[in-house]
Structure 1
Amino acid sequence: MRTNPHILEINTAVWLNKLSEKYGKKIPLCHVPDEELDKFKKYGFDAVWLMGIWKRSPEAREVAQNNEEIKRAIAAFNPNYDKKYIAGSPYAIYDYTIDPDLGTEDGLKNFRQRLNERGVALLLDFVGNHFAIDHPQTLENPDFFINTGMEAPAQNPEWFFRTEKGVFIAHGRDPYFPPWTDTAQLNYFNPKTQEYMLQCLERISSFCDGVRCDMSMLSLNKVMKDTWGNYLKYDYPKEEFWTKAVSKIKNINPLFSFIAEVYWGLEWDIQEMGFDYTYDKVLYDRLRFSTAEAIEAHLGAEHLFQMRSIRFISNHDEESALKAFGKEKSLAAAAIISTIPGAKMFSLDQILGHKEKIPVQYTLESEKDDEEIISFYQKLLSIINHPSFHGGQWTVKKVLSVNDSLTYKNVLCCSWVQGIEHKIVVINYSNAEAVCKVTLKRFKFKELKDDIAGKPVDIPVEEAYKNGITLQLKPYEIKIYGTTI
């Protein structure tokens, strides 16, 4: 993948059902039409993350179909939904084989090959923290999991379930939330668990070019110790699982990519274990809840950390960007994450302008596409596909006040320079008008072009070079300029 790659998350089951309806026949992965794959290359995506590709659990399906919260969420946008389209969670994995509803292993290999022929990588899920409650290993090797043997747990019995063989196994759990009742918690203090999961990861790596590792921090030794304490039974590991995992797979394929979903300020720890990219939830929260000044402060972090961060305003865990941010703010936020260093992750729902968050257990699309939003993203993706955003030098630029107005503080500005090409990004990240001056004296340029409007800026070049440009910006207005030095 390029430096600062563009990644598209696709809910695989929903996407294939939509394609099946579009083409009037069932479309498994191996039969996805070429014109659909061509779109990924056309819009400048470096990788496609097929979310939810692995075999789902029958028991997790039953849990989902009887979960009142899931049913209410679906009924909110589709009151007449058919229960058969509620599958088990894609994060309660029964087996690391492709789900038969989506295709075959040969079909997955063919899909990857066709993507690669277009210069697009394939990313798949690796859920390291847990398996589904009916995963075969819960019966064959219960000590792979946190368990209390045949004796019921003395504390927090709601954290556990009992297998057919009478062993009490813990559900997967984030320590800040209730357990995921369709999952079984793996015990990484057991060396045999680590060996088994390394085998699973090596198998997954044969089908793809990288993995997105779900809730990666939960498998860290300290986090596991703090979460599960005396239930662990085994000695504290001498090495982190992720250090071994990244080393093992990259020894096989040095170009293989590791992306971590990680929170709690542990991003740098995970990066130091060899991960290529880590979630930047801090930026998401600042974009959603804070100010331009707070966002700019976050972008002052160490450059390598910035390069290894993955920026997003939408994914399957979050509210839709349109609902979380509002329309205009969401588009401005999208422009910000698209024009700073690091990987940029977009969800297909985001690009299609969908407002509803689909529960991951539901496999049908919830609403019609929004052509205005699609048009915006087509334009934005086309602009940021320029080499300057992938090989250039990035700098945060300070804008100046005009007539003592303080609204310049709401404006974010940065520049990218590669060779004779120069890009300048100016965004008013507020719900009020802003006025500011952007200085251009560092670069002697021949023409100033408005990349969004697709035409030259109506200002004499010498005047712009000497005095800068004064901008009156509407709420959440985006300006991206291109110059040739």
Structure 2
Amino acid sequence: MRTNPHILEINTRSWLNRLEAKQGRAFTLDDVPEEFLDNAKTMGFDAIWLMGVWKQSPAAREIARGLDEITNAVRAIEPKFDPQDITASPYAVYEYEVDEALGGNEALSKLRERMHQKGIILLLDFVGNHTAIDSPTVTSSPDLYINTGLSEPHAHKDWFFKNKNGISIAHGRDPYFAPWTDSAQLNYFNPKTREFMLDNLRRVAALCDGVRCDMAMLSLNKVHRDTWWEFIGGELPKEEFWHQALTAVREKYPEFVFIAEVYWGLEWEIQEMGFDYTYDKVLYDRLRFSTPENIKGHLGAEHLYQMRSIRFTSNHDEEEALKAFGREKSLAASTIIATLPGARLFHLFQILGRPARMPVQYAKDSFQEDETVYAYYRKLLEIASAPAFHGGQWSLRDVSSAGDDSNRNILSWQWKQMNTGKIIMINYSGTPAKGRIPMKGLYGQNGTVTEEFSGQKITVTPEMLSQGFELYLKPYESKIFTFAV
């Protein structure tokens, strides 16, 4: 992938169902239209993350269909939905084989080859913390999981279920939330479990070019101990699982990409283990809830950390961007992430203008596409695919006052590569803003300026060089200027 790659996340089952509805025939991964891949390449995507390709868990499917939280969320958007269209959670993995309903491993392999011909790599899911509640090993190898044998758990009985042989096995859980009742918790203090999951990861690595590791911090030794200390004791293994895993996979696949979903301030620790990118949830939260000044403060972090962060305004876990941010603000926020260092993640349904998030277990998301939103993203991604955004030097810029303090709401940074420069200015507020940005000595003494969204060309004048470039921005308006000397 390029430096600062663009990654497209796709809810695989729902996406194939949309294609099926449009074309009037069944679709597998091998049937993905060439036009779609061409458009993905034109829009500048370096990678496609196919979320949810693994074999479905029958037990997890039945659990999902019985959860009011899921059915009520679906009903609020699709009042006449068919309950049979609720599937298992993609993160309750039965086994790491591509579901036959999607065409199996062979169909995925053919799609991957076609993607490679376009210069696009394939990313898939890897769920390290747990398996589905009915995964074959839950019965055949219960020692891989946190369990209390045939004895009842001495505490937190609601965290456990019994397998077919009556052994009490823990559900997977995040220490801050209730257990996931469709999952079984792996025991990373057992060397056999580590080898089992390494084998799974090697199998996945043979099918794709990289993985997004779900809730990666839950498998860290200290987190695992603190979450399950009552059942596994307190002595830490000598090595972190992820260090073992990355080393083992990259011995065979040196370019394999590892992305970690990680929170709680553990991003840098995970990066230090060799992950290429870690979730930047802090930026997401600041974009959604905080001020331009706080956003700028976050962007002042160490540059290597920035380069290894994956930025997003939407993914399968978060509320849809249009609903979470509001229309104009969501497009401004996406312009921010598209022009920062680090990986840039976009969800297909975000680009198509989905108005609200549907639970990932619902496989027929039939929203009407928003052509205006789609056109904006196409233009934005075209602009952000310019070489300067991927091979240039990035730095924050200060915006001076142009008569009032509204300049504090303008976020600005620059990219510079050879004789080309980019300056981004975004009014990240609901009121008009104006500001002035210094230009003297930035890219030489003469040249033209092109505003990329509008195509407007501006001649650099001596006054602009001496006094700065003054700009007026509407609420949540973005401007991207290209300087050619």
User: Normalised by the shorter chain, which TM-score bucket?
Assistant: over 0.9
1:98 counterpart SS class? coil
Deviation at 1:483, TM superposition (A): 0.9
Deviation by residue 1:24-82 (Cα, 9 ceiling, x = unmatched): 21110011111111111010000000000101100000000111110000000111101
Counterpart in the other structure of 1:354: 354
Indicate yes or no: 2:431 matched with 1:432.
yes
1:440 counterpart SS class? coil
Counterpart in the other structure of 2:144: 144
Aligned residue identity for 2:411: L
TM score, norm. by length of structure 2? 0.98
Which structure 1 residue ranges, 4+ long, deviate > 6 Å from structure 2?
none
CA RMSD in angstroms, aligned pairs only: 1.0
Indicate yes or no: 2:157 matched with 1:163.
no
Counterpart in the other structure of 1:379: 379
Alignment of structure 1 residues 85-484 onto 2, 5 Å:
85-232=85-232, 235-403=235-403, 405-441=404-440, 442-444=442-444, 445-457=446-458, 459-484=459-484
Aligned residue identity for 1:354: R
Deviation at 1:154, TM superposition (A): 1.9
Alpha-carbon distance between aligned partners in 1 of 2:466 and 2:378, rounded to the nearest angstrom: 34
2:106 counterpart SS class? helix
CA contact (8 A) 1:171 1:181 kept: yes
Deviation at 1:233, TM superposition (A): 5.4
Deviation at 1:366, TM superposition (A): 3.6
Counterpart in the other structure of 2:5: 5
Report sequence identity in percent. Answer: 54
1:430 counterpart SS class? coil
Label 1:240 to 1:460 Cα distance change in 2 as closer, same or farther (>3 A): closer
Deviation by residue 1:422-471 (Cα, 9 ceiling, x = unmatched): 000000111111110011112224110011101313x5533322322111
Alpha-carbon distance between aligned partners in 1 of 2:436 and 2:234, rounded to the nearest angstrom: 62
Alpha-carbon distance between aligned partners in 2 of 1:240 and 1:408, rounded to the nearest angstrom: 46
Deviation by residue 1:95-149 (Cα, 9 ceiling, x = unmatched): 1000121112111111111101100010000000000000010111101001111
Alpha-carbon distance between aligned partners in 1 of 2:121 and 2:463, rounded to the nearest angstrom: 45
CA contact (8 A) 2:94 2:132 kept: yes
Alpha-carbon distance between aligned partners in 2 of 1:436 and 1:155, rounded to the nearest angstrom: 60
Alpha-carbon distance between aligned partners in 1 of 2:102 and 2:75, rounded to the nearest angstrom: 25
Alignment of structure 1 residues 34-113 onto 2, 5 Å:
34-113=34-113
CA contact (8 A) 1:352 1:373 kept: yes
1:379 counterpart SS class? helix
Deviation at 1:235, TM superposition (A): 4.6
TM score, norm. by length of structure 1? 0.98
Alpha-carbon distance between aligned partners in 2 of 1:353 and 1:58, rounded to the nearest angstrom: 32
CA contact (8 A) 1:408 1:435 kept: yes
1:101 counterpart SS class? helix
Aligned residue identity for 1:450: E
Equivalenced residue count is 483
CA contact (8 A) 1:249 1:256 kept: yes
Deviation at 1:402, TM superposition (A): 1.3
- Select between 309-318 and 437-446 the one with higher mean Cα deviation: 437-446
Aligned residue identity for 2:448: E
Alpha-carbon distance between aligned partners in 2 of 1:146 and 1:317, rounded to the nearest angstrom: 26
Alpha-carbon distance between aligned partners in 1 of 2:447 and 2:462, rounded to the nearest angstrom: 9
Alpha-carbon distance between aligned partners in 1 of 2:43 and 2:257, rounded to the nearest angstrom: 21
Q: Give the unaligned 5+ runs of structure 1.
A: none
Alpha-carbon distance between aligned partners in 2 of 1:45 and 1:281, rounded to the nearest angstrom: 21
- Select between 100-109 and 55-64 the one with higher mean Cα deviation: 100-109
Alpha-carbon distance between aligned partners in 2 of 1:251 and 1:234, rounded to the nearest angstrom: 31
Alpha-carbon distance between aligned partners in 1 of 2:150 and 2:36, rounded to the nearest angstrom: 52
CA contact (8 A) 1:171 1:184 kept: yes
CA contact (8 A) 1:414 1:424 kept: yes
Counterpart in the other structure of 1:28: 28
Aligned residue identity for 1:456: K
CA contact (8 A) 1:447 1:461 kept: no
Aligned residue identity for 2:277: Y
2:100 counterpart SS class? coil
Aligned residue identity for 1:85: D
CA contact (8 A) 1:77 1:366 kept: no
Alpha-carbon distance between aligned partners in 1 of 2:153 and 2:460, rounded to the nearest angstrom: 77
2:472 counterpart SS class? strand
CA contact (8 A) 1:271 1:278 kept: yes
Alpha-carbon distance between aligned partners in 2 of 1:126 and 1:234, rounded to the nearest angstrom: 26
Aligned residue identity for 1:416: W
CA contact (8 A) 1:259 1:276 kept: yes
Aligned residue identity for 2:405: L
Aligned residue identity for 2:64: A
Aligned residue identity for 1:449: T
CA contact (8 A) 1:138 1:145 kept: yes
